[in-house]
Structure 1
Amino acid sequence: MSLIAASPSEAVPALSESGVGERRGSSRPARLAPTRIRLQGRAVAAVFQAMDAMAVALVTLGVALRWDVLAFAVAALIGVAGLGLFKAYHFGWREGLVLHLSRAAVGLLLAGGTSFLALAPFLPAPDVGRAMLSWTGWTALTLIALHALWWASIRRWRRNGRLTPNIVVVGATEAADRLVAAVLKNREANILGVFDDRLDRAPDHVRGVRVLGDTHAMLGHRIMPYVDRIVITVPGQARERVRQLMERLRVLPNEIALLVEGGDAVGEAADFARIADVPLATISGVPRDAWRAFNKRAQDLVVGTIALILAAPVMLLIALVIRLDSPGPVLFRQRRHGFNNEEIVVWKFRSMRHDRADPKAAQQVMPGDERVTRIGRFIRSTSLDELPQLFNVLAGEMSLVGPRPHAVGMKTGDVESARLVAEYAHRHRMKPGMTGWAAIHGSRGPVDTPEAVRRRVALDVAYIERQSFWLDLYIMAMTIPCLLGDRAAVR
């Protein structure tokens, strides 16, 4: 007998990528990666630079132990700065390994070597040549090995879709044509498709990028969880059309950018650069959101691992009791909405009778619900049924703190919950969490009325706007006392 109860569709349906070329389009990668695993170019470059600095520092320390430490330290510092000046962290799409390594070596040796020569008078004369040769050789070998690794990593991340941002265009206009041309030239973004409400006037393709339908088709299109940003390209005078498009698309969690047709060429080129977010073009000014996402992921990994170790004995005991309490598997999995509307499979301890499972949450749990088992009532009331979601957290599909993931197609009464609040999808602008701001403010369990849905969405959006490392720690600290003191919530 299986230990896992599965929903009817066990995995997120994959997008068909057969028919490369005409079917896939001229600017669509061979493989699509969900936005939650996308890497930000500037953050990656900053990590590469930090690791280069650490490696050079270790080499410098090893060499300088025999000579003047201060002189070598200054040379190493200026040498690492020289890597940035010579664009050693700019990995062009067509740049070969030899060219990249040559630029990195020239940057390091010119900057570091010049500073070293300036400091040479302060070193003992007999040792100057030997010291310079030793430091230069070991530093060059170390950086060549590292940058070969960086170059290969960038190539791999671009191939599997983790580095290059994905965009869709709304409006098959002349500006869209120029944008597609710019992207095809520099390959710093992927355009997955074009949508246009005026299909009778729109072409089938824009420079090989397929027109996939109108904005109504876009709202439910399977490609949207893979989209980083939506770019609206409309004539500059069509203000009312822009307003209507923004109003229609605001229900989506995706970032929206506006490229107004008819501007000057310089301004339009700058807009293209911002839209593409040129990966690894610069190493300075890492966006705040990138660091916030990094801190949140680090918090999830550290705290989540500790929590899993501490909870393991309890989880084993719960699994045993469930098997003794009622026939059926121990675990239950359900398709739910994750970051950017991606469908993920969420794990729970089974709390309902196996033959009465409701993977689509068409009927939410009510007081005295006969579908819930005896042990199920206890683990639901204490939220112990959620403990297996620690595996979702460690896998990167969920976070410890965030909006609670709702089942795909969940209904409030006879109406799909997502249709009750225009901003419902805004709660998917962050990874779903095991606990959250809504949970510690009483919005826990089913949302069986339109008012309950609106309140939870409002609390979730408020959390997303305020999220910080310290707020997450506060929510985690408040979760247990809130659960112990909450006897009104039906779960």
Structure 2
Amino acid sequence: MNKPVADLTRAIRAHDTEIPVASSLEQRRLRLYAALLFGDGALLLLGFAIAGLAYEGAWLEPRAMKQGQLLMPLFYTIALYNRTYCAQALTDWRFAIGKAAVALMIGAGLLNFIAFYLKTNATFSRGSFTLGLVFTFILIAGSRLGVTWLVRSIWGGRVRNCLVIDDGGPEFSERDSDRVSTASMDIDPFRNDPQMLDRLGRLFAARDRVVVSCPHERRGQWALLLRSIGVHGEVVSASAYELGAVGVRRHEDQGVATLVVSVGKQGLRARTMKRVFDLAVAATGLVLLAPLLLVAALLIKLEDGGPVLFVQRRMGQGNRFFSMYKLRTMREDGRDAEGARSTREDDRRVTRIGRWLRRNSFDELPQLWNVIRGEMSIVGPRPHALGSRANDKLFWDIDTRYWKRHSLKPGLTGLAQVRGQRGSTWEEKDLTDRLQSDLEYIAAWSIWRDMLIAWRTLSVLRHERAY
């Protein structure tokens, strides 16, 4: 929470004005980084020593210790590169453990790769090496839990000094920060007053970050002051938030800057990983489920003689239309091309075999072909029918963020589906909950999350709202 004067500050008086002067936290961070850095090396060797004892029956067993010693420089190289030792790692144990685990796994992979080409991996003990990794991870994870507990218990979770300056701009608050107002300290960025600048210099001393909230016409002068004092400074901008700005690009030749409001499609590596995953799962699924699809097609045909597939126009990535395939679950005379009418639990349009298919989500299986064609992904925001409504409103009329979900390919399943957010949309909340999950998925995409969502989908194929 914001505090007028934090516990970590002391107040001094300059010309009858109290100034909260922060104590530097940089030394605290450096000591903790050093403790983690040296501690990780010791814990890595300890983990392999325990592994040697457990697997070979000898404490400090030579082969196990050699493996640990060879792994150490690779682990440190990755750890220093991937922010294993940073301020967030001191306060967020999940982040800290995740970064250390990545460094450990990549280091282990590189060691095996190098040993393979040097033809020395035959001297490795797979058992002690695997156990060494397991014990090392457990020990390092425990150290991260201990450090974050220590920081939270002794220092209140504070490892950085942040100051918020209220100069009459938009409301802004920052957790674990100090807060001052320009009115209470007689500060005016337009006033060329050495005494005032001295107060600002004392106020900003040892600050890791300063955030100023001021009217638009005062931003330029505050930016000049922040640069002149040499502190990491930020200026609150409600208009940039409304635009969805994610960065700033300077154009020195023209003397202007542009706000970056869209970052474009995923990077090549991310797109390649996602496409490989999609093709592998879709192709495997089509081969394994071919008998089930043939039986379902036969039953659909026998029930009323109509077509097996239902093809509906949906909106996909980049707001472009595509034809989505489903097994037909409704009578021919009851099909809704635009999806304007939500399916009810006792909907008479649904056939007998269609009801079973929908209940078990088997009617979606032909979309594996959409995945093969590159129109859909295994995981992504589900494509909605164009006529879908909630509270008698079209989806995009309910929330202006709706179109953001089309920045990725639509998915056969998604984060919203594994959270149980599926079925008919009678209330606006039915749509906004799904939209929030979709935007959360897009913002934090990773191939590992795709794999996890795909796995979790197996447990929610049958759903009480799928009718």
* Structure number with bigger Rg: 2
Please give the TM-score of this superposition, normalised by the length of structure 1: 0.43
Please give the TM-score of this superposition, normalised by the length of structure 2: 0.46
Q: Which has the higher contact order (CA 8 A, sep 6+)?
A: 1
